[in-house]
Amino acid sequence: MVHFIFIPLLAPGHFIPMIDMAKLIAGRGISATIFVTPLIITRYAGRAIHRASNSGLPIRFIEVPFPFSSEIGLPQGCETADALPPSLWSNFFTALDIWLVSVENSIQNVEPFPTCMITDRYLPGLAETSMKFGIPRIIFDGMGCFNLVLKHHLELSKVQETVKDSESFVVPGLPDRIELTKEQLPAMLKVDAGKWAEYRDRIKAADEQAYGIVINSFRELENNYVEEVRTLNKGRAWCVGPLSLFNRETLDIVERGNRASIDETECSRWLNEREPGSVIYACFGSLNNLTLTQLVELGLGLEASNRPFVWVMRDGEGKEETERWITESGYEGRIRGRGLLIRGWAPQVFILSHEAIGAFLTHCGWNSTMEGVCSGVPMITWPLFAEQFFNEKLIVQILRIGVSVGSQTARQPSELKDGEILVVIKRETIMNTIDKVMAGDEEGDARRRRAREVAEKAKKSVEEGGSSNLNLSLLIEEVTIENPTCSS
């Protein structure tokens, strides 16, 4: 029996699309097993997982406890990246390596024996597991093809090593002219990568041993870059996204990733009372690290826009001081009736699909980028760290469906010192960027038209005969029929 196993990085932006992919594979009648932690089952995906398991799909979820101990220095509950204070990232990766040993032990007892393993690219230690058990390993990369090609040419040319931090440079070898600065690069691409350098080298070595790569994107979104990724991976690269579109039932859409902090009915009622295309949706993902200073500027910028808005405020460090500002400043009273604050997890795909949404203010994480693309609304881009500045270039410059708010410096959450401000974008800039995106002039209309066209292409890609639907068939065929080493 053909059997795919899935092992995600324990971060919402990675395990959410991988769970989608496991359900997608199971929907083709193929056994799928995904390894997760108990916290993911109970907090993030419990009811959706149970619905999938009870639906008759050949899918199962194996809970592997996450290690906590005084030696590791990781408190109980810190078993996903979004639950971490910035100071504990190193401890988390130590615990993650221990968790993967337990996952490996579980794989030995899985029946039927796995035909193939799809693992997160950022779990390089699983390359050894793949070789140990003789199971072909396919990488799941949580970013897009544009990002992969950009990184490849930066690593190849090392052009970033020839300029000063704030000096712009053109990335060579690309079909589009892309300018960046060193300050906008992910930590692992910087000359002084420090502790990330060893991790980067492990990933690169593991990539070279992988059988292929599967990507949450679709050909029509970034065609030139898809072809180069295929070339770099000897033809074994499959774009099977947007994975969020494979959640078709309302409950699966509302509860994708976590139980929402707002009732679906309340959310719908609020949006239904707004004019079509009038609402700004602002959300910075599960790992954002905006300081109170920046949050205040964001809140005041949204207020000054004089437009209705939904603002998702992440739980985590700084929550108490944020709530104190909201209360003492009278902010919530001033925006009542025009602004909706969601504290915690928001049903993002559900909200973005509502006709009232007119723009998406986003940090440009890849999942949010894809969900924004599928919504058919223009984006206000505010990258913070990792590959998010690359995604901004795709949105603003290549697809021309967004406007940048002007963020300039990429910093990992773990790089921040106590009290350090990640970015400071002033309220006037935020208000002016909102005005530009929401404008009813020729430029604004053209941007909205392009956004709708890209969304339509996304939907067609996952339908019968679409590019991603076909790629999924080709992936399964490669694993089960054409390659004897994968079907044994």
pLDDT in tens, 109-165: 899 999 999 999 999 999 999 999 999 999 998 899 999 999 999 999 999 999 987
- Look at residue 390 in the predicted model and tell me its pLDDT: 96
- In whole angstroms, give the CA distance from residue 137 to residue 148: 18
Range with the largest mean pLDDT of 7-16, 189-198, 272-281 = 272-281
**Strand bridging mode 402-404 / 379-381:** parallel
3 state SS of 306: coil
What does the pLDDT average to over 251-264?
67
- Look at residue 290 in the predicted model and tell me its pLDDT: 79
Least confident of 6-20, 290-304, 388-402, 408-422: 408-422
Query: Taking the domain 260-459, which CATH number applies?
Result: 3.40.50.2000
- Look at residue 421 in the predicted model and tell me its pLDDT: 47
- Look at residue 259 in the predicted model and tell me its pLDDT: 64
Query: Taking the domain 3-246+460-487, which CATH number applies?
Result: 3.40.50.2000
- Look at residue 411 in the predicted model and tell me its pLDDT: 65
Where helices occur in 241-288 by DSSP H, the ranges are 250-254, 264-272
Which pTM was predicted? 0.92
Least confident of 36-40, 61-65, 260-264, 271-275: 260-264
pLDDT of 345 higher than 90: no
- In whole angstroms, give the CA distance from residue 338 to residue 206: 50
- In whole angstroms, give the CA distance from residue 448 to residue 443: 9
pLDDT in tens, 91-106: 998 999 999 999 999 9
Helix (H) or strand (E) holding 24: helix 12-26
- In whole angstroms, give the CA distance from residue 176 to residue 170: 10
- 70 pLDDT band, cuts 50/70/90, is confident
- Look at residue 193 in the predicted model and tell me its pLDDT: 60
Instruction: Give the residue extent of every domain in the chain.
Output: 3-246+460-487, 260-459
- Look at residue 413 in the predicted model and tell me its pLDDT: 52
Which tokens hold the place of 124?
């390089």
pLDDT of 424 higher than 90: no
Find the angle CA(335)-CA(338)-CA(342) to the nearest 5 degrees.
80
What does the pLDDT average to over 299-304?
96
Please check whether the two domains, 3-246+460-487 and 260-459, share a CATH topology.
yes
- In whole angstroms, give the CA distance from residue 473 to residue 459: 17
- In whole angstroms, give the CA distance from residue 407 to residue 404: 8
